[in-house]
Structure 1
Amino acid sequence: MMAPFANPAEERKAPRSVLFMCGMNAIRSPMAEALAKAMMPAGTYVASAGVRPGERDPFVDVVLEEIGLTVGRHQPHTLDELEDDYFDLIVTLAPEAHHAALELTRSMAIDVVYWPTPDPTVATGTREQIVSAYREVRNHLALLLKHRLLGQMPEKMA
């Protein structure tokens, strides 16, 4: 039995350019960018930015390295610092980023979607408990990319 949203006649096309936005471009959006670059079709332009300046978070490197990915030399940057400002899709991962994206695109034909994504910096406890919170965010973003951008059915529904 097929899920109601999975209509083969309405095959989804992956966007050609995607911007991921969060508060400081330190955790959620660079993680989403790295995952999307690995998962999206070749030739897809993927970038990330924050609403305000942030600092690189070493736990992002830890959880991406676990799955063979990296953010490379990524340093957090804001929307104003982007080289390109046209995207087919802007995916916001935090409320403040969503509001900023809607304001930015008011007069543009750019789709903006909000994927509520937890902030792993609120995790406390041992190093392993904190890393686990970052893994959950990584896995959450990977699932959203597969299902919402690439149109893949969840395994349980297939």
Structure 2
Amino acid sequence: MKKNIMFLCTGNSCRSQMAEGFCRHLWGQDFNVYSAGTKKHGMNERAMKVMKEIGIDISSHYSKTVEDLPQITFDYVVTVCDAAKETCPYFPGGKVIHVGFQDPPALTKDMTDEEEILKVYRRVRDEIHESIKSIKSYL
């Protein structure tokens, strides 16, 4: 039986969505994979773009909160930002793991060069990828 894993972030628009995409791609045979936010911020276009560059399409994902998910008992909840770690709801029976990543929208908010902005998104994407590749060591 597959274990349930959720990636939790603030807005469920970028980091948690990338983590969900990577986990589904790499470990979908082992986990039922979900992502959510403490708020809904909508999907981040640049996050979708940099994931598509490496062959992972998250364009069908949508921004949601934990309350929007079906009633699921999560075996693992992975917070991918410090704010989500601080405000993480209680998940009975679930093991909460924190693996924080910088927020590309916040890092690039004052930038104007699109290629430089995408470099930041790619860096964070690659950091998330490395973490997800080794996620089984956390569990």
Same topology, TM > 0.5: yes
CA RMSD of aligned residues (A): 1.5
Q: Post-superposition, which runs of at least 4 consecutive aligned residues in structure 1 deviate over 4 A?
A: none
Query: What does residue 6 of structure 2 align with?
Result: 19
- 1:35-64 Cα distance to aligned partner (Å, 9 max, x none): 100011515200000001212111011101
Once residues 115 and 14 of structure 2 are traced to their aligned partners in structure 1, the CA distance between those partners, rounded to angstroms, is 17
1:74 alignment partner AA: H
SS state at 2:74 partner: coil
Structure 1 alignment gaps of length 5 or more: 1-14, 152-158
117 and 42 in structure 1: CA distance in 2 versus 1, 3 angstrom threshold: same
2:60 alignment partner AA: R
Structure 2 alignment gaps of length 5 or more: none
Q: Under a length normalisation based on structure 1, what TM-score does the superposition of the two structures give?
A: 0.78
Query: What does residue 51 of structure 1 align with?
Result: 38
SS state at 1:150 partner: helix
Query: What does residue 155 of structure 1 align with?
Result: none
Identity in percent: 26
Q: Under a length normalisation based on structure 2, what TM-score does the superposition of the two structures give?
A: 0.88
Query: What does residue 117 of structure 1 align with?
Result: 101
Once residues 68 and 57 of structure 2 are traced to their aligned partners in structure 1, the CA distance between those partners, rounded to angstroms, is 21
Structure with larger Rg: 1
Report the alpha carbon displacement of residue 88 of structure 1 after superposing the two structures with TM.
Answer: 0.8
- Assess if the C-alpha contact under 8 Å between 1:49 and 1:76 holds in 2: yes
1:114 alignment partner AA: H
- 1:111-152 Cα distance to aligned partner (Å, 9 max, x none): 1011110000122241011111111111001111112x134x
Once residues 98 and 85 of structure 1 are traced to their aligned partners in structure 2, the CA distance between those partners, rounded to angstroms, is 20
SS state at 1:46 partner: strand
Once residues 59 and 14 of structure 2 are traced to their aligned partners in structure 1, the CA distance between those partners, rounded to angstroms, is 13
72 and 84 in structure 1: CA distance in 2 versus 1, 3 angstrom threshold: farther
